[in-house]
Amino acid sequence: MSGRNASEVPTRAAATARRRAASRLAMKKSAGRTKPLSVSDYLQKILTARVYDVAIETPLELARSLSKRIQNQVFLKREDCQQVFSFKLRGAYNKMAHLSPEQLQRGVICASAGNHAQGVALGAKRLGCKAMIVMPVTTPRLKIDAVKSLGGSVVLHGESYSDAYAHALELEQLHGLTFVHPFDDPDVIAGQGTIAMEILRQHPGPIDAVFVAIGGGGLVSGVAAYIKAVRPEIKVIGVQMNDSDAMIRSVQAGKRITLSDVGLFSDGTAVKQVGVETFRLTRELVDGFITVDTDAVCAAIKDVFQDTRSILEPAGALAVAAVKQYVDTHQLKGQTLVAIACGANMNFDRLRFVAERADVGEEREALLAVTIPEERGSFKRFCQVIGPRSVTEFNYRISDASKAHVFVGLATTQRGESTRLAASFNRQGFQAIDLTHDELAKLHLRHMVGGRSELASDERLYRFVFPERPGALMKFLSSLHPGWNISLFHYRNQGSDSGRILVGMQVPHQDKKAFREFLGTLAYPCVDETDNPAYRLFLR
């Protein structure tokens, strides 16, 4: 909460009262509108929208690799190519361009999780007015800095868009500003609808479906309004995160509902309650809905990167994730599908998480917990069962005198393969559990295999480096002396040209000379970490 001392933070009851007051104010504004606009009205507003003072007509590109892999033509509407890396400047500027000189003179205010904020800040800069932007405290730093660089005045408030929105309505009254809604405004909706106008102009041939991410509903409302007015045979499919699905729940309930909480991975669509007008239009015009999860979105970000060398933000990749899920669910082939890549304001810090979860989301990696006998040679026999398959991760720490529990990641080529792999291990006498879809394992356990062990006597700890190529891990294991027990093993494929392994080996005191000679025969560089303080604190 920018500009406040800790003593000024309101109580929960006071905050709730303020949100209710802001909600009543918003309802009064909605009540003051004339009768609802028809699809024809929206068509006219879209055709006359003033967006191209700041927006460009973005390309509609065939995603060649993705299309080939899923056997359908997939086109990407590249809204990430806008100068603020998002579609949001269309609706924001169209709304502001329709304001009176007096309204612009007083200045504008908006609430946004980031992309709309940049659109408003850019529009204000172009139109020569001041802009106050209220953003949730969870907004990525990248988006906050981008708004400030465009001249916007940033106020951080609340944990979600809905919290920021309520605060922005209060500031609107306090400072006499004009509110620019991120989605629940006919001019904003019309501005976003110009995307559909461009899609149909750029691809006049058959289109089976257009997939659109939904937060508050402005984009899907504008796109659906134009498509249903011009090409009603084209399906419009709305997409939401499975932990931020306010629109889908509202349509199912027949009324707007408010989520108690929303997931923040896709911060651009993290909306607790959709708009009055966007709910009306979406309920009337959108043909169907799909929810996607975090892993599917991470996989979609990777898919788009492989085709375009561009990195979408999570909200920007929702539509691509939905296309893949839609094709798989309905077993489609040969259709023409359009995904609106609606934003690319990705924090660099998130790339590590996205890269790690992308292969799981695409089911290109199987995660298994395998129990093997704690006896000499069983480790190598376990690797022989793996065979030529690429190992993506290997975590093991001695913890029991009779059996060992190994966390292993294996590269896969098709969906459902992890189940077959687990069954294969079980047939070979190794008890295996498929953890590929286990959230606890994916988020935490893979990083927590280890700890101290009373069984790890005479342990020596070494870091090894070897060339990262198929079969290299098996070759490394084959070179280890069978007389020394492996008590710790950690490996994770990081995508580099060399692999790094941490190995604990139990070497009796009388074998130290032989062990040094053994290390000299290895073709792999190594570093002795036995005296490393971190090892002594957490593992020894």
For 104, the enclosing helix (H) or strand (E) is helix 101-106
Give which of 337, 370, 325, 344 is closest to 72, Cα–Cα: 337
User: How far is the C-alpha of 436 from the C-alpha of 445, rounded, in Å?
Assistant: 12
Signed CA dihedral, 470, 361, 314, 343: sign only: positive
Output the pLDDT for position 250: 98
User: How far is the C-alpha of 14 from the C-alpha of 457, rounded, in Å?
Assistant: 60
Distance, C-alpha 354 to centroid of its chain:
7
Helix (H, G, I), strand (E, B) or coil at 157: coil
Under 8 Å CB-to-CB from 2, ≥6 apart: which residues?
Answer: 154, 155, 156, 157
Output the pLDDT for position 350: 84
Q: Which residue has the higher pLDDT, 159 or 335?
A: 335
Query: Is the Cβ–Cβ distance between 236 and 209 less than 8 Å?
Result: yes
Residue 368 backbone zone (phi > 0: left; psi -120 to 50: alpha; other: beta): beta
Distance, C-alpha 19 to centroid of its chain:
29
Helix (H, G, I), strand (E, B) or coil at 50: coil
Output the pLDDT for position 12: 43
Helix (H, G, I), strand (E, B) or coil at 55: coil
Distance, C-alpha 204 to centroid of its chain:
31
The stretch 406-432 carries a mean pLDDT of 87
User: How far is the C-alpha of 260 from the C-alpha of 159, rounded, in Å?
Assistant: 12
Question: Based on C-alpha coordinates, what's the Rg of the chain?
Answer: 28
For residue 436, which phi and psi values (nearest 5 degrees)?
-55, -35
The stretch 78-87 carries a mean pLDDT of 96
> What share of the chain in percent tops pLDDT 70?
90
Output the pLDDT for position 470: 65
Under 8 Å CB-to-CB from 131, ≥6 apart: which residues?
Answer: 107, 108, 109, 110, 120, 121, 123, 124, 125, 151, 152, 153
Please name every residue paired with 500 in a beta bridge, in sequence order, or none if there are none: 465
Give which of 106, 109, 61, 115 is closest to 86, Cα–Cα: 115
User: How far is the C-alpha of 335 from the C-alpha of 139, rounded, in Å?
Assistant: 37
Asked if residue 160 has pLDDT above 90, the reply is no
Give which of 242, 252, 235, 193 is closest to 217, Cα–Cα: 193
Output the pLDDT for position 524: 77
Please name every residue paired with 469 in a beta bridge, in sequence order, or none if there are none: none
Pick the range with the lowest mean pLDDT from 68-72, 208-212, 446-450. Answer: 446-450
User: How far is the C-alpha of 173 from the C-alpha of 20, rounded, in Å?
Assistant: 15
User: How far is the C-alpha of 88 from the C-alpha of 91, rounded, in Å?
Assistant: 6
Asked if residue 19 has pLDDT above 60, the reply is no
Asked if residue 7 has pLDDT above 60, the reply is no
Question: Which pLDDT tens digit goes with each residue over 348-362?
Answer: 888 888 987 887 777
Output the pLDDT for position 33: 53
Task: Please provide the distance, in angstroms rounded to a whole number, between the alpha carbons at the two ends of the chain.
Answer: 44
Output the pLDDT for position 497: 63
> What share of the chain in percent tops pLDDT 90?
52
Question: Which pLDDT tens digit goes with each residue over 213-254?
Answer: 999 999 999 999 999 999 999 999 999 999 999 999 999 999
Output the pLDDT for position 82: 96
Pick the range with the lowest mean pLDDT from 32-36, 89-93, 232-236, 414-418. Answer: 32-36
Query: Is the Cβ–Cβ distance between 249 and 257 less than 8 Å?
Result: yes
* 235-241, strands of its sheet edge to edge: 60-62, 73-78, 336-341, 209-213, 235-241, 288-292
The stretch 376-395 carries a mean pLDDT of 80
Asked if residue 517 has pLDDT above 90, the reply is no
Asked if residue 170 has pLDDT above 70, the reply is yes
pLDDT band at 473 (very low <50, low <70, confident <90, very high): low
Helix (H, G, I), strand (E, B) or coil at 500: strand
Output the pLDDT for position 233: 98
Separation in Å, CA 450 to CA 239, 374, 392, 487, 490: 40, 16, 18, 10, 9
Pick the range with the lowest mean pLDDT from 101-110, 346-355, 480-489. Answer: 480-489
Q: For 266, which DSSP code?
A: T
User: How far is the C-alpha of 295 from the C-alpha of 308, rounded, in Å?
Assistant: 20
Under 8 Å CB-to-CB from 241, ≥6 apart: which residues?
Answer: 263, 265, 266, 269, 270, 291, 292, 293, 294, 297, 314, 318
Please name every residue paired with 369 in a beta bridge, in sequence order, or none if there are none: 407, 433
Output the pLDDT for position 15: 46
Separation in Å, CA 106 to CA 125, 156, 177, 218: 14, 21, 6, 25
For 260, the enclosing helix (H) or strand (E) is none
Question: Which pLDDT tens digit goes with each residue over 186-217?
Answer: 999 999 999 999 999 999 999 999 999 999 99
Model pTM above 0.85: no
Q: Which residue has the higher pLDDT, 519 or 379?
A: 519
Separation in Å, CA 65 to CA 292, 334, 338, 353: 21, 15, 15, 23
User: How far is the C-alpha of 200 from the C-alpha of 186, rounded, in Å?
Assistant: 21
Signed CA dihedral, 160, 163, 165, 167: sign only: negative
Give which of 509, 376, 520 is closest to 462, Cα–Cα: 520
- Polymer length of the chain: 540
Asked if residue 259 has pLDDT above 90, the reply is yes
